[in-house]
Amino acid sequence: MVMLILEHVGVQLGRRSVVQGVDAAFAPGTLTGIVGPNGAGKSTLARAMLALVPATGRISIDGDAVAAMPRGDLARRIAYLPQGQTLHWPLTVERLVGLGRLPHLAPMSKISDADGAAIERAMLRADVQGLRTRIATELSGGERARVLFARALAVEAPGLIADEPLASLDPGHQIDVMELMRAEADAGALVIAVLHDLTMAARYCDRLLLIDDGRIVADGTPHEVLTPDLLRTVYGIEARVESGGDWPTVTTFGRARP
Ligand SMILES: Nc1ncnc2c1ncn2[C@@H]1O[C@H](COP(=O)(O)OP(=O)(O)OP(=O)(O)O)[C@@H](O)[C@H]1O
């Protein structure tokens, strides 16, 4: 189990402050959605959590600063699914998913039976066993997205940060991926997902962080965060939020009038 804590985190890219003054704690057993408009800083914040971009303030996992943590150690604690990753090597799906085991392997060592079992579990859960012999660079966008999700699952880390895991997926596979992340959290993992589909985020996440212009503008349950006023202010949209059920559903009507 891992606990991730961000204290007054900022990220400067070029001359721009892309993330500013972020304080947040993420506990094991929770699924948190990071939502907000394009360019708000969601991916940059996710990358900062994994020390993939230099940040000010302090980011720690179980008390250890991520900036000082050996890469392999960090990769074993938190699996990462980057946004819209391009594949360069014509690996089979099975080999590509197997790369998720790299953080567990000693240099020059071979994949063990336990690694093989983890790869099989990940392929089964992400519904990609039928693709195992296909060349990953020849897959459709949605197939590739599922394979990359399987690679992140194959790490079997106590934490998972997924940046737009639903992009390119059909509605059925979107539900599958959200249910997988929910199941990971229910089994004790710390799961954070950058999401654009607000109703999906509301349905499956315990908590939403709404980011705008690099700052957290709302942090709470989906019912607390997804209000028409906040959606108008942050996204510039008119939306109806039905909040009578277990989770709020968001229907958008159009751009907010100035
Ligand atoms: N290397 C860079 N140098 C300068 N600015 C950058 C750099 N990388 C990203 N940015 C800017 O930082 C801001 C935040 O980018 P980020 O990718 O974190 O946004 P996001 O919320 O994930 O957006 P999206 O929903 O479009 O994926 C954007 O305005 C982007 O143009």
Domain boundaries, the chain: 4-255
Given a contact cutoff of 8 angstroms between Cβ atoms, the answer to whether 184 and 20 are in contact is no
| Token pair belonging to 31 | 């699924």
CA nearest ligand 1 atom 2, residue: 13
User: Is the Cβ atom of 43 under 6 angstroms away from ligand 1?
Assistant: yes
Higher pLDDT, 52 or 106: 52
When computed from its CA atoms, the radius of gyration of the chain, rounded to whole angstroms, is: 18
Distance CA(29)–CA(134), nearest Å, equals 34
Q: Within 10 Å of residue 27's Cβ, how many Cβ atoms?
A: 15
Check residue 121 and report its DSSP letter: H
By C-alpha distance, which of 206, 204, 205, 190 is closest to 28?
190
By C-alpha distance, which of 184, 179, 92, 191 is closest to 144?
92
Residue 61 in this model has a pLDDT that exceeds 90? yes
Centre of ligand 1 to C-alpha 222, Å, is 24
Query: Which of 16, 35, 161 to mutate for ligand 1's pocket (most ligand atoms within 8 Å of CB)?
Result: 16
ipTM of predicted assembly, 2 dp: 0.97
Given a contact cutoff of 8 angstroms between Cβ atoms, the answer to whether 177 and 169 are in contact is yes
Distance CA(20)–CA(49), nearest Å, equals 14
pLDDT digits (tens, 9 = 90+) for 106-124: 887 888 999 999 999 999 9
User: Is the Cβ atom of 44 under 6 angstroms away from ligand 1?
Assistant: yes
pLDDT digits (tens, 9 = 90+) for 176-227: 999 999 999 999 999 999 999 999 999 999 999 999 999 999 999 999 999 9
Options 3.30.300.30, 2.60.40.10, 3.40.50.300, 2.40.10.10; CATH for 4-255 is 3.40.50.300
| Token pair belonging to 63 | 């008390």
Alpha carbon of residue 25 to chain centroid:
15
Centre of ligand 1 to C-alpha 16, Å, is 10
